[in-house]
Structure 1
């Protein structure tokens, strides 16, 4: 199980300038690797050994980055190209990546952390600097859970939050820990459908609204547009401050919803939570595409790590036809669904369309062989009341 803990760093002005220069050169190194891998003989190369041989010496010569940060830049570029290639293979558009965000990757060779002393040592373009953690006087549950509970430090990042002027650098500390998963021979699955009006709906009949989250996003966009039209320095600073408030609100909202979803799973003795593969739910994403994609991804991440902490496994399935298929008889027709209303043209089953989809997602986890081989076909679906076991090739249930 992997987690990331966000920790504010205390840096003096000289340290901030040095770290900013290191991030600048790290982004340049990433871009140099991408420039090579993206244009190589018209192909897109992301194999790390090829990228290393072609760019390592040049980057070492033209930057002040230590060797291990050059390698981390190569790895980030390689992973970025690979993600773009995957999109292209899936019929999506992907242009050559550009590295703009102030972020740099660190590993155990370039970052040393002393949790008990609440400080760290960071490699830069001019030696190492030491920074203290800015933590509450008394740990809240967030810090206590991860900093004092046997977690091991893994690859981390340091990022600059441009909307803050005072102490703008944060360490996103990577942690990992082995956990014991539930090993049920007859696992109970809870399906979750994601959407706009209902941000999440479970097969157990719980609805979590997305109205407040997306409505506030629209209000922020409206205000942001007016400020951008003014073009003044004051307006620009206000936009930065708004971005910080908006991000904090969105993350807090998604955290609270994910917590409630996992609590629902626990109350129903669920062993597996089934969700949609994010890459295949584009049809649900209308305007505000970038924000909606981010929100879905964040919610899934929060659900997954909260579920794993409680020994609940998380599976992802292809959502194809889950909105059009009847969760009672299995008939699949486009006409079955009209916005939030689902009515099967074959058996007459009527239900909320998102709830119907949530049940279908749970069904697919079992019927499409998403369970481990030893458990395949023995699963049961968690519903509003009780559970449901397979009946032939599909389910037959009146509610």
Structure 2
């Protein structure tokens, strides 16, 4: 691993001194013989100079300094390893004709999912005395012809989805609670530790370890939920043959400037991870996911287009036509309208699913942990 990293660093140093874009053919001419003399296989050489070029291009695009590689990672082409999913064994072909056999610790359910897929590359990483392997798979899927439209409204405390038929009727309405409150709890603990050791927390190993554990827990909660909810939503969309509508939140952090409390929630809100998992799970099933501008989806009446008034308990009312509905459900209707070719949704039966007086506005009617119980291993 160190030899591979040092070889990549060698190529990075050479490329950094050159102020020109080099083709793969030119890179091959410059580095192939030199790297082969170090004992690397032919495909190792290709991975090294291609990876080094991507590192240099990325650093220059971001206006950074010359990259210095410290982590022990290596990309391995499909010709330089043998993967046996049946026995969960991986054989890596190393430099100087050495080979090493690794036993994969992935659960059987996860392995079974990719049994009929094609693997084409893997990444090996050595960290804290452990060897991690990421295997990349691909498969060809047939696109599913959409028969319904699924609109998804994503908020701090919940995710609301509605499945609409092409003529505008609601076929399914579902709401899931997000674990943002759990994440905020870990963030509060991090801040308490930092305040208690305000001057020394950066230098005390035990304190840094405690902060790191809370940070790791935050990452695990967000990724775990994102994978599970993405898989569940994609299964539901596949059941209804839906095209999925997501909010385009690309510039949300730049445009949303509010109070300190809101900004703290926004910093911990993992909407990009949720949308990423929904998109790739949908793509895996041959479904299409599109993003639309979410502007005014929670403030415009889906019946007449007038501005809605907040009446409390997350309910909105239109003073012009009298329409009343839940804030999140209204958002899904308006997202559907933005995609649909139909000029009007018709008489949508939008049920009022707002919390009752006295209930927390973050709660929902139904099973609050529904999204966390039914899932498939990713």
Q: Tell me what 1:190 maps to.
A: 150
State the alpha-carbon separation in 2 of the partners of residues 23 and 337 from structure 1. Answer: 63
Please, which of 107, 111, 127 is the counterpart of residue 143 of structure 1? 111
- Unpaired runs of 5+ residues, structure 1, are 1-18, 89-93, 368-389
2:237 aligned with 1:265: yes
> How far 1:248 moved relative to its partner?
3.1
Q: Separation in 1 of the partners of 2:80 and 2:290?
A: 34
Counterparts of 1:81-160 in structure 2 under 5 Å? Answer: 94-96=62-64, 98=67, 102-124=72-94, 127-135=97-105, 139-146=107-114, 149-160=115-126
- In the alignment, does 2:250 pair up with 1:279? yes
Corresponding residue to 1:319 among 293, 313, 338 = 293
Find 1:222's aligned residue among 191, 204, 214.
191
Residue in structure 2 matched with residue 28 of structure 1 by the alignment: 9
Corresponding residue SS for 1:229: coil
Secondary structure of 1:178's counterpart equals coil
TM-score (ref. length: structure 2): 0.66
Instruction: Give the structure with higher Rg (CA).
Output: 2
User: Conserved in 2, the CA contact under 8 Å of 1:111 and 1:120?
Assistant: yes
Q: CA RMSD in A?
A: 4.5
| In structure 2, C-alpha distance between the alignment counterparts of 1:83 and 1:333, rounded to whole Å | 45
How many matched pairs? Answer: 328
Deviations 1:30-71 (A, max 9, x none): 85488468xx48xxx6x7549837974698499876553453
1:111, 1:122 within 8 Å by CA — same for their partners in 2? yes
Alpha-carbon distance in 2 for matches of 1:221, 1:306: 33
Contact 1:191-1:273 within 8 A present in 2 as well: yes
Tell me by how many angstroms 1:174 deviates.
1.0
Counterpart secondary structure, 2:288: strand
The residue correspondences of 1:322-341 to structure 2 (distance < 5 A) are: 323=297, 326=300, 328-329=302-303, 331=305
Shift in Å at residue 231 of structure 1?
2.1
Tell me: CA distance 1:322–1:108, structure 2 relative to 1, closer, same or farther (3 Å): farther
> Where do 5+ consecutive residues of structure 2 fail to align?
163-171, 257-261, 351-378
Q: Which of 169, 174, 177 matches 2:136?
A: 174
Structure 2 residue corresponding to 1:249, chosen from 217, 221, 224: 221
Give me the whole-angstrom Cα distance separating, in 1, the residues matched to 2:281 and 2:71.
28
